[in-house]
């Protein structure tokens, strides 16, 4: 009889497989519940987690008086229905960054299988035909709360993951210690890290062999992975991008790689929710500069009040860059166009104006280039080499990247947005000829000020664009309020819940010469669809 029961639950196990894929995806995107991010996501998205046909599994607890054969048929049939509805729901969801089946994810899968295996084993040992309703009810409830089963698997695996982490960390440290001729440059900030990293690498590679961390490998885990699997002995400079969600995380990376040089891009409001305050963000970002040795060099932004006001606790050399204020390396005469940016650089104690040109768009990139020039100069690059390096800098993917989509000119700024960056992106769009359209879901993780920043963003948009395409009705409420405050015509506001629909709509709205700004692209955990 047990095997009849087991085969009846096969559709239920398919439900578990489908729900595991979604739960593991969300767990991965929420840093494996670091800082309770996964738990917070669950309770912020009750419709995705708790509203589904599988809630009716609880009714099987009432099946005590139902005939055994009928109960088996009902569970089998109902589970098939749940399979279909769960699959359809997942099939229609937006997925920008799919689940990456890493070794850690595989270990979670094995632990989840083990948990359900134990349940089935216990049922098999104590199996009674008269308790069939109870077994179905228990399995159904576990399936319904499966997001928490995955959380339990994650907790069970913590000791293993800690061992794995320290094993690969020791391996990375050993490898770094063997590369005595390589210097390490750290880059952090609330935003602009990846752009600054890639720009610096392009500039330094005119003379040296500079290796930047790939993609978004900017956590401690990412750094360990980079060192062990990508970094080679031929690199003169290792450029380590450092990200953080809370105080102490950048120092953890610095304790691993021990940078001698550091660039702090901007202290802003990104991840304000997890840091808790702007002062914590300031303290967290300066962990890089304060980890530098006395013979190290830190590059700071003279136009950032949070950098100018900070009292450094170490004695490394500081080189200031700026545009608005006096600095060691300063850009003046900035000219922006849809073709790129040109500007003059003046160095402290040097009356010569050095003219630079780049295909990159926006004032934000001028700051990033200045940081590259400042550090390149410290490393002995000539002005001719710096001119060449800046001119050769490649467009950075999803960061004010200009590209074609049919007959439309796309300004792809889809990487996570922030108040300063979004304002500059809108300014770039405003410089473009022809019709102007923006596609955006707004900004996230800005804590209690999120509504204010998004409303202000809506007001900025209103004076520049002809058409607005908003992704997510609830998410963009503040932007809608900002547009209304500036009396932007409602017939030119288009609200969608699926970003995929934005592309046919923008083609429909496009004219002969049209520029479309894609501002921000929310992770899957923020999807409204």
Residue 478 lies in a domain: yes
The tally of domains found in the chain comes to 3
Average pLDDT estimate for 379-405: 90
Task: Looking at the structure, tell me whether residues 62 and 24 fall in a common domain.
Answer: yes
Per the structure, the complete domain to which residue 342 belongs is given by 177-392
Q: Which residue has the higher pLDDT, 64 or 78?
A: 78
Task: Looking at the structure, tell me whether residues 380 and 438 fall in a common domain.
Answer: no
Task: Looking at the structure, tell me whether residues 226 and 343 fall in a common domain.
Answer: yes
Task: Give percent of the chain above pLDDT 90.
Answer: 72
- Tell which of 345, 364, 392 closes a domain: 392
Residue 168 lies in a domain: no
Average pLDDT estimate for 223-233: 94
pLDDT tens string 481-498: 999 999 999 999 999 987
Neighbours of 367 (CB within 10 A): 24
Residue 498 lies in a domain: yes
Task: Looking at the structure, tell me whether residues 19 and 45 fall in a common domain.
Answer: yes
Q: Which residue has the higher pLDDT, 198 or 448?
A: 198
Across the chain, mean pLDDT equals 91
pLDDT at residue 466 greater than cutoff 50:
yes
The CATH number of whichever domain residue 225 belongs to comes to: 3.40.1190.10
**Binning pLDDT at 50, 70 and 90, where does residue 398 land?**
confident
Average pLDDT estimate for 342-356: 95
- 448-455 long-range contacts (CB < 8 A, ≥24 apart) are 449/269, 449/272, 450/273, 450/478, 451/477, 451/478, 452/478, 453/269, 453/419, 453/478, 454/478, 454/479, 454/482, 455/479, 455/481, 455/482, 455/485
The CATH number of whichever domain residue 420 belongs to comes to: 3.90.190.20
pLDDT tens string 123-155: 999 999 999 999 999 999 999 999 999 999 999
Task: Say what angle helices 37-44 and 10-29 make with each other, to 10 degrees.
Answer: 120
- Tell which of 356, 372, 392 closes a domain: 392
Q: Which pLDDT does position 520 carry in this prediction?
A: 84
pLDDT at residue 528 greater than cutoff 60:
no
Task: Looking at the structure, tell me whether residues 131 and 191 fall in a common domain.
Answer: no
Task: Looking at the structure, tell me whether residues 295 and 332 fall in a common domain.
Answer: yes
Residue 520 lies in a domain: yes
pLDDT at residue 415 greater than cutoff 80:
no
Q: Which residue has the higher pLDDT, 273 or 324?
A: 324
Terminal CA-to-CA distance of the chain, rounded, Å? 43
Q: Which pLDDT does position 96 carry in this prediction?
A: 64
Task: Looking at the structure, tell me whether residues 234 and 309 fall in a common domain.
Answer: yes
- Tell which of 358, 392, 426 closes a domain: 392
**Binning pLDDT at 50, 70 and 90, where does residue 525 land?**
very low
Task: Say what angle helices 158-177 and 103-125 make with each other, to 10 degrees.
Answer: 160
pLDDT at residue 309 greater than cutoff 50:
yes
pLDDT at residue 523 greater than cutoff 50:
no
Task: Looking at the structure, tell me whether residues 196 and 116 fall in a common domain.
Answer: no
Average pLDDT estimate for 72-92: 91
Residue 219 lies in a domain: yes
DSSP class per residue in 496-519: ES-GGGHHHHHHHH--SSEEEEEE
Residue 167 lies in a domain: no
Q: Which pLDDT does position 522 carry in this prediction?
A: 53
Q: How far apart are CA 118 and CA 47, in angstroms?
A: 30
pLDDT tens string 494-512: 999 877 888 899 999 998 8
Task: Looking at the structure, tell me whether residues 245 and 382 fall in a common domain.
Answer: yes
Task: Looking at the structure, tell me whether residues 455 and 370 fall in a common domain.
Answer: no
pLDDT at residue 314 greater than cutoff 60:
yes
Residue 169 lies in a domain: no
Cα dihedral sign, 357-362-365-367? positive
pLDDT at residue 215 greater than cutoff 50:
yes
Residue 212 lies in a domain: yes
Task: Looking at the structure, tell me whether residues 382 and 509 fall in a common domain.
Answer: no
Task: Looking at the structure, tell me whether residues 271 and 376 fall in a common domain.
Answer: yes
Task: Give percent of the chain above pLDDT 70.
Answer: 97
């Amino acid at each position: 009889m047990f095997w009849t029961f087991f085969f009846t639950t096969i559709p239920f196990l398919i439900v578990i497989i489908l729900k595991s894929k979604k739960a593991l995806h969300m767990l991965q995107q929420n840093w494996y519940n670091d800082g309770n991010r996964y738990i917070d996501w669950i309770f912020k998205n009750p419709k995705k987690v708790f509203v589904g046909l599988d809630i009716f599994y609880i009714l099987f607890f009432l099946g005590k008086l139902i005939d055994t054969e009928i109960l088996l048929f009902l569970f089998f049939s109902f589970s098939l229905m749940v399979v279909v509805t769960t699959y359809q729901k997942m099939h229609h969801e937006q997925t920008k960054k799919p689940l990456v089946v890493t070794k850690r994810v595989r270990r979670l899968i094995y632990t989840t299988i083990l948990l359900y295996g134990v349940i089935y084993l216990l049922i098999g040992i104590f199996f009674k035909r008269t308790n069939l309703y109870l077994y179905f009810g228990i399995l159904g409830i576990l399936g319904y709360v499966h997001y928490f089963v995955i959380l339990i698997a994650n907790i069970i695996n913590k000791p293993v993951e800690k061992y794995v982490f320290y094993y690969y960390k020791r391996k990375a440290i050993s490898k770094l210690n063997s590369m005595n001729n390589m210097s390490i440059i750290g880059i952090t900030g609330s935003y602009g890290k990846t752009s600054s990293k890639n720009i610096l690498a392009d500039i330094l590679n005119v003379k040296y062999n500079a290796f930047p961390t790939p993609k978004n490998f900017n956590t401690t885990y990412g750094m360990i992975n980079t060192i062990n699997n990508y970094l080679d002995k031929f690199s003169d400079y290792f450029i380590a991008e450092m990200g953080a969600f809370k105080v102490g995380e950048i120092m953890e990376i610095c304790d691993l790689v021990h940078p001698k040089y550091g660039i702090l891009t901007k202290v802003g409001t990104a991840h304000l929710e997890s840091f808790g305050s702007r002062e914590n963000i300031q303290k967290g970002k300066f962990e890089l500069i304060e980890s530098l040795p006395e013979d190290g060099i830190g590059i700071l932004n003279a136009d950032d009040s949070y950098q100018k006001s900070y009292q450094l606790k170490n004695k490394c050399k500081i080189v200031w860059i700026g545009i608005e204020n006096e600095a060691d390396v300063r850009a003046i005469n900035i000219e922006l166009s849809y073709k790129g940016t040109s500007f003059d650089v003046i160095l402290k104690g040097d009356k010569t104006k050095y003219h630079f040109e780049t295909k990159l768009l926006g004032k934000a990139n001028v700051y990033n280039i200045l940081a590259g020039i400042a550090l390149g100069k410290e490393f002995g690059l000539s002005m001719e080499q710096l001119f060449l390096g800046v001119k050769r800098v490649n467009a950075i993917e999803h960061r004010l990247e200009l590209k074609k989509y049919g007959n439309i000119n796309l300004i792809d700024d889809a990487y996570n947005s922030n108040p300063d960056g979004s304002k500059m992106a809108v300014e770039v769009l405003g410089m473009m000829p022809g019709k102007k359209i923006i596609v955006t879901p707004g900004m996230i993780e800005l804590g209690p000020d999120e509504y204010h920043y998004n409303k202000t963003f809506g007001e900025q948009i209103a004076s520049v664009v002809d058409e607005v395409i908003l992704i997510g009705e609830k998410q963009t409420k503040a932007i809608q309020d900002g547009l209304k405050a500036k009396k932007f015509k409602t017939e030119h506001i288009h609200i969608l819940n699926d970003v995929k629909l934005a592309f046919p709509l923008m083609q429909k709205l496009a004219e002969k010469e049209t520029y479309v700004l894609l501002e921000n692209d929310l992770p899957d955990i923020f999807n409204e669809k």
